[in-house]
Structure 1
Amino acid sequence: MWAAMRYRTSRAFRLLMKSGDYDVINDMKYCDIISDDISDDEGGLPQAPVKVYTRFPQIDPTTIASYSAREYPKVGVDYAKYSVLRVIPKLHKLAQSPIYMKPVCKRGTVLKRPQERPKSFAEVLRDPVHLEFFKRFMKFHKSETPVLFWKTVELLKRTESSSARQKKAQLILKKFFGRLAGGGVMLQCDSDIIEEIAKFNTVTTSMLVQAQVEVVKSMERHWAQRYFKTFPPPPMPSPKVSQVLQDKREGIGGIKTKLRRIWELFSEIMRRAARFIAYMKDPRMFERFRRYLKRVPQQELNKIAGGDASNPDVNKRLQQSFDCDVTKMVCGRKVTLDYLADDLIFWVEADRWVQGNHPC
């Protein structure tokens, strides 16, 4: 009640102020509450609306269990009767080739995609045409950042001024290793140098060159074979064509082939001789080889007699052969097999003398 009376008093005071009759009342103590609310016809204050809070109705657990017990597809329903709508893409979109397969118009020049498959990934980076289409291939797969980084570092290496090179290095650091670039994540390289560069505020050209090498290895490992598969496989030469090529090689480069074979044979002889000398310096190998040479004449006699020496007939023929030395033709020369072990000892002693060593 008192609040309603105070509100009506303040409302009457405002009406008097608007009418300009200041003699009636000029003291503010009669109006200590001024409100802009609109009262009803009786001068009472409007009641504030009651706030209503809505809540979702609680569901019985048994009802929830019945809902979850349903299985799809439902048993006993013939789904073949229902038609299924399928979105079929337009034929012209299916016929379109990817962007990296189309010709490129660059600076007024039309670049056609090479038909031959590159031999290596280094050829892709060296050839400007292959590099352009490889960049489009990476862009099609949303992974062109490594190629852009490699190309930017190549331009950095060609900069002659040291101050300009340092400025470009800082721009590269901000563009490829900054916070917006994910700290080098877009380079798709898990090398340690990438993580280290992302932590630095300044970077040198040598560090970027090292990072470039690691990025190239990563691209070759993950993307080279995928790019090579976009080219048709190389045709296999027919047997007739391969025979013709072989005949041409033998006719044109016959002399070179003969010289190459001679040098290969000579180098093989030298390798075997060096291996034999190395083995003869080992006392154990030397003794084993000397014993083997001691048994060579006996083995040759067994071949001459045509049997085993334990046989009496064979032993008799061997006794007849002991009176003369056992010889054999080797490379057109007559070699006495009984002297092979002594020749080995003589060669070893002569080799020691040449080298300045004396026998023990």
Structure 2
Amino acid sequence: MLSERRLEVLRAIVQDYVGTEEPVGSKALTERHNLQVSPATVRNDMAALEEEGYIAQPHTSAGRVPTDKGYRLFVDKLADVKPLTGAERRAISSFLEGAVDLDDVVSRTVRLLATLTRQVAVVQYPSLSRSTVRHVELLSLAPARVMLVLITDTGRVEQRMVDCPAPFGETSLADLRARLNSRIVGERFAEVPRLVQDLPESFDNEDRGTVSTVLSTLLETLVEETEERLMIGGTANLTRFGQDFPLTIRPVLEALEEHVVLLRLLGEAKDTGMTVRIGHENAHEGLTSTSVVAVGYGSGNEAVAKLGVVGPTRMDYPGTMGAVRAVARYVGQILAEN
């Protein structure tokens, strides 16, 4: 276990390397930080940190840089993340409140995260498997044609056309709408089939076929839309960090093009609290030179999806973690209000 002094030296090395992009030497550390020890003591501490694998020397004539292990300890020992300024918080709130629908919320969130962190932003759409029903609307388009509109608690809207086996009057349609909403509003999608299975039997014989058709369309919608979706933005930000990738940025870009990889990354993040995966902690080979910072978001106390950023391991972790957490909180508030 590292002593508090050596931990302070490691913190200083991480901060300087992230800020300057240059390997850090003992002289620079003693000049920039109030370590209250001599340069010789700092050199000894750096030698010990290197021996234990927390820092490394990229070139014989260079200073030291943090390793994945060093970044991990730095993140684990963070007392707090960097708070956003009042102006930043107001800008986030104003920008997200202008969204007109769920797609716009996700799109704005991606742009916001990429701008705030100057990293690649990834936002997962709210999962229908974790969503609840806010409302079901049934609209008559013709005597035997109905539009079904499903609205989730996260603001997601799905529309389907239903061709009925027989004409369905406005009174019967209103009755079905009322009974359907009374049974499933506020319920998880997974519970809907059980809750509506006996609903056709409560209608007259001439309407049961149409009721069954409407319910079949509703259940098919729940199944069809369970595929996970995400949006990515800010990939161009990686071009600023060319020197942070050992050989080439290409493997990172190729990994980011695979949505399955990104969904797996977000899926590995915890539903509650912040998840930070550094370097080789990322299983995908193309992302072993990156760090992933992710967190869950939702309209209540439970996460319905996740968002985060991908960038080089030489990352401003306190600032990035603070921005990701703040944006997730604001997105959750927007979803709850819509």
Which range, TM-score by smaller chain?
under 0.3
Q: Determine which structure has more spread, i.e. the larger CA radius of gyration.
A: 1
Bigger relative contact order, structure 1 or 2 (CA pairs below 8 A, ≥6 apart): 2
Of Structure 1 and Structure 2, which has the larger fraction of its residues in helix? 1
Of Structure 1 and Structure 2, which has the larger fraction of its residues in strand? 2
TM normalised by structure 1 equals 0.20
